Structure 1
Amino acid sequence: MKKETPLVKQYRSIKAEYPDTLLFFRLGDFYELFDEDAIEGSKLMEIALT
């Protein structure tokens, strides 16, 4: 099993506090969604899930 990265730990910690909110994470010049947020966000914004 892979060890969680600090980013993943931070994401999960914040997501636990706000489970019903899409959590956008800024990575450099971009914002990203992860896990279920990515799936839901791609549907809401009508963009491709990559």
Structure 2
Amino acid sequence: MSDPSPLIPEHTPLMRQYLALKAQQPDLLLLFRMGDFYEVFYDDARRASSLLEITLTQRGQ
């Protein structure tokens, strides 16, 4: 996981929303509900994994 990249047109609407919110509140841990699950991105995923003692996973693996 790395830092989020700057806002670019190729980002999905969800990722654009995430990046905009992170720019405003970089210290908040943002979770997004995706159907029945919550997803956490970039360094927030690492923080959430440690704080919640859950396994960190990646898409496509």
The TM-score bracket by the shorter chain reads 0.7 to 0.9
TM-score, normalisation: structure 1: 0.87
Distance in 2 (alpha carbons) for counterparts of 1:38 and 1:19:
13
Aligned residues: 49
TM-score, normalisation: structure 2: 0.73
Aligned-residue RMSD, C-alpha: 1.4
Point out which structure has higher relative CO (alpha carbons under 8 A, 6+ apart): 2
Q: Secondary structure at the match of 2:38?
A: strand
Any runs of at least 4 consecutive aligned residues in structure 1 with deviations exceeding 3 A, and if so which?
none
The residue aligned with 2:16 is 9
What per-residue deviation string (whole Å, max 9, x for no partner) do you get for residues 19-40 of structure 1? 1010011111111110000011
Identity across aligned pairs (percent)?
A: 56
Q: Which runs of 5+ in 2 are unaligned?
A: 1-9
The residue aligned with 2:35 is 28
> Is the helix fraction higher in 1 or 2?
1
